[in-house]
A and B are shown apart, each in its own frame.
Chain A
Amino acid sequence: DAKTTQPPSMDCAEGRAANLPCNHSTISGNEYVYWYRQIHSQGAQYIIHGLKNNETNEMASLIITEDRKSSTLILPHATLRDTAVYYCIVSYGKLTFGQGTILTVHP
């Protein structure tokens, strides 16, 4: 699986958009970009995934660059409950978790 690079931590004010970047410069053609998050002491939660096109669901939006070498997860209106570790994974099959980004949403 291709490796990803994420900033170790980010802060966001409650109610504002949280934009979490991810670099995956060695992604191969059939690998999807997945985003998961883990709230403290819980299992991981699926957020969104995409292949080439931008995607949006009830939780977030995923913006993938045209060359697919990077992506951004957007939480449009962050709440305190969005404080978690966010993992960007590129994969076709098994998921390999990196260190992720610790997102802290503050009042």
Chain B
Amino acid sequence: NAGVMQNPRHLVRRRGQEARLRCSPMKGHSHVYWYRQLPEEGLKFMVYLQKENIIDESGMPKERFSAEFPKEGPSILRIQQVVRGDSAAYFCASARTATDTQYFGPGTRLTVL
């Protein structure tokens, strides 16, 4: 009965590189949410996906950020050409339905040098 898995737990990138963050939802969960927590700030919604579909990406920056949740495999949050301001903890949450409790993964801490 594994929980939400995220990897890597820590990721260091230099400015201009790409960061790929992975999220495997709990078994039976088809709804995935990505949230970002900037240093000393609260959590902010980024994107909501349901298998193969982006439902709501209103919290995601328009440039350099993309997300997917393919039919097979984990959800991926991709950040191209990272900048120092992207340094943050990125949390994934999953739920069985749109109205169920969301269960959070351990987060990926991205540091951009």
A and B form one complex: no
